[in-house]
Amino acid sequence: MNLLLTFIQKAIGQGVAILFGATGEIVTEKSGNLNLGIPGIMYMGGIAGLMGAFFYENGTENPNGFVGFLIAIVCTLAASALGGLLYSFLTITLRANQNVVGLALTTFGVGFGNFFGGSISKLAGGVGQISVKTTAEAFRAQIPVLSEIPVVGDLLFSYGFLTYLSVVIALGMTYFLKRTRKGLNLRAIGEDPATADAAGINVSRYKYVATVTGAAIAGIGGLYFVMEYLGGTWSNNGFGDRGWLAIALVILALWNPANAIWGSFVFGGLYILYIYLPGLTRATQELCKMLPYVVTIVVLVITSKRNKQENQPPASLGEAYFREDR
């Protein structure tokens, strides 16, 4: 029972970063942009938040957790939004191939994260030596009282602020896409930008806003990983492939952020299953770590076989739009 509880807690802990990434990518893809740069953007968001907090804590006598928290969030949003803006400029304004730009952005973003991560590690005195304790504690702060209820408290109320934020954003985005006028307009752009344009919607502006917002949301996923999961430090390539899993989750979630919530927790569980399965050797553990990818592939194959119109990717996904194309 206890083990199961820990497993669920840890699975959710693993899933949150993926959920931020997937929600961000869904919003982006709904505008017709397939942003393969999300993994890089999540690195950028993570390191920017960490750097903000690091320089704040090192520059202040008595750092305040809440201030550090705010600084980290603002830095993360700024850096990841900038990443999204760069992607948007190249794909929307300059109409470059989305996949190519996305891959380049991921190369850049991962390098950006590791470079600055490595650099401030050196400043801090060595690998794993960065510590933004005060800020990280603010991120890890649990809900008082409620988290002390046995079992339920552990299961539902033992997480930091960002975990709840990830769920709230996912639900909020679902509402936005399904129930609001702007959401409807955004969906229309992803389906057929020429039609949306003819209906008087500013296609480029929506694409920019959706892509930049999506990038910012995904960036928080990187911050979550650095602050809450790692507890305020950096390890090179530590974030690993979670960004790519986030993109894969979009398909599993059928482009609905609400579905991504449980999907991300399942992914999180698969990610750490090897620790909890008894009787694994070192070698078989490695094989067990394949699970999230293999499951993604299986899901991919299954979804490609069903053909309900509403469950398909946005019809114009991956294509640049030029009004005067003939």
Q: Which of residues 133-172 bind other proteins (CB under 8 A)?
A: none
Q: CA distances (Å), 294 to each of 32, 313, 316, in order?
A: 27, 21, 28
Could you give the CA distance from residue 29 to residue 201 in angstroms, rounded to a whole number?
17
94 contact partners, CB below 8 Å, separation of at least 6: none
Could you give the CA distance from residue 167 to residue 127 in angstroms, rounded to a whole number?
33
Please pick, from the candidates 60, 125, 146, 323, the single residue that binds other proteins as defined by CB under 8 A. 323
Residue among 61 and 324 whose Cβ is closer to other proteins: 324
* Least distance from other proteins to the Cβ atom of residue 262, Å: 20
Residues 69-108 close enough to bind other proteins by CB under 8 A: 86, 89-90, 93-97, 99-101, 103-108
Please pick, from the candidates 1, 3, 4, 301, the single residue that binds other proteins as defined by CB under 8 A. 301
* Least distance from other proteins to the Cβ atom of residue 4, Å: 25
Residue among 60 and 202 whose Cβ is closer to other proteins: 202
* Least distance from other proteins to the Cβ atom of residue 293, Å: 4
Binding-residue total with other proteins (CB under 8 A): 76
Taking CB under 8 A as the binding criterion, the range among 2-10, 58-66, 178-186, 259-267 that sits at the site for other proteins is 178-186
Could you give the CA distance from residue 81 to residue 83 in angstroms, rounded to a whole number?
5
Is 5:151 a contact under the CB 8 Å cutoff? Answer: yes
Residues 32-71 close enough to bind other proteins by CB under 8 A: 36
Q: Which helix (H) or strand (E) holds 76?
A: helix 65-88
* Least distance from other proteins to the Cβ atom of residue 273, Å: 13
* Least distance from other proteins to the Cβ atom of residue 227, Å: 21
Residues 255-294 close enough to bind other proteins by CB under 8 A: 282-283, 286-287, 289-290, 293-294
CA atoms within 13 A of residue 156's CA, in its CB half-sphere? 7
Q: Any idea what DSSP says for residue 142?
A: P
315 contact partners, CB below 8 Å, separation of at least 6: 190, 191, 192
